Amino acid sequence: MDARNPVRQSKGCDGLPDENKETLLQIGVLWVIDCSSIAYYMRMAKSVKRHKRMLKKSRIGFFNQTMSSYVTSNELQLFSKGFSVENNVVYFVDSQRRLEKAIKICEFKHKHFKDFLHTLPQDHQIYLKARYLQEEEIINDRVDRECIEMIQEIEEAVSYRFFGSEPGTYIDDAPDINQVSEEEFAEAFDDAFLKMISRLG
């Protein structure tokens, strides 16, 4: 899986024209649920914090900019440059709405996945932390399958609750986790997630 494009082409796209596959993948309709998803869910609290930092940074950047007309120049002339209230405010409000929605969704996922983890036996919890947080090379297919099935249920709930539509996800049996850094992995999923929200509303 390319770290820059975590919503990769899946068997759910087979039989579709290439342009339709690309459109579906861009809006996150065919989201692959596999062991990489477990790693992402195990770090969901960090995604919540990251989105909150982005929200705060966006607000600070907007209100710190010059909102009155001012004189500037290029090599040829002096000219007056104004603040476009309509364009800037619309963009700011829209970006705030997307980030706030992303935070709510991540908090929803984090809450329900954490509740699920608390129902697991202690040895299962130790395994999940060891494999997906400490990146130890161990595999327990049964525990992974339980997590994948729970993630599918949570993703379905998110689709209905936040987007009002039937989810288009499926379970991928691939047990491997692509070797990208934790920061690249989380940022790639978060970027794709925000793009999905902006397209689906």
Burial of 35 (0-12, 13-18, 19+ CB in 10 A): buried
The predicted pLDDT at position 191 comes to 59
Q: Quote the tokens at residue 160.
A: 């209905």
Domain count, the chain: 1
User: Domain for residue 171, yes or no?
Assistant: yes
**Is 185 or 127 the better-scoring residue by pLDDT?**
127
The predicted pLDDT at position 194 comes to 57
- Tell me the pLDDT tens digit for each residue of 166-199: 665 444 443 343 444 445 545 555 555 555 555 5
**Is 114 or 57 the better-scoring residue by pLDDT?**
114
The predicted pLDDT at position 36 comes to 86
Q: Which domain covers residue 52, as residue numbers?
A: 11-60+98-200
Contact present, 67 and 83 (Cβ < 8 Å) = yes
The residue type of 185 is F
HSE value, Cβ hemisphere, 13 Å, CA-based, for 123: 3
The predicted pLDDT at position 159 comes to 87
* pLDDT tier for residue 115 given thresholds of 50, 70 and 90: very high
DSSP string, 55-68: HHHHHHHHHHS--S
User: Domain for residue 75, yes or no?
Assistant: no
- Tell me the pLDDT tens digit for each residue of 19-38: 443 433 333 333 567 888 89
Given a cut of 60, whether residue 88 has pLDDT beyond it is yes
Mean pLDDT throughout 129-141?
93
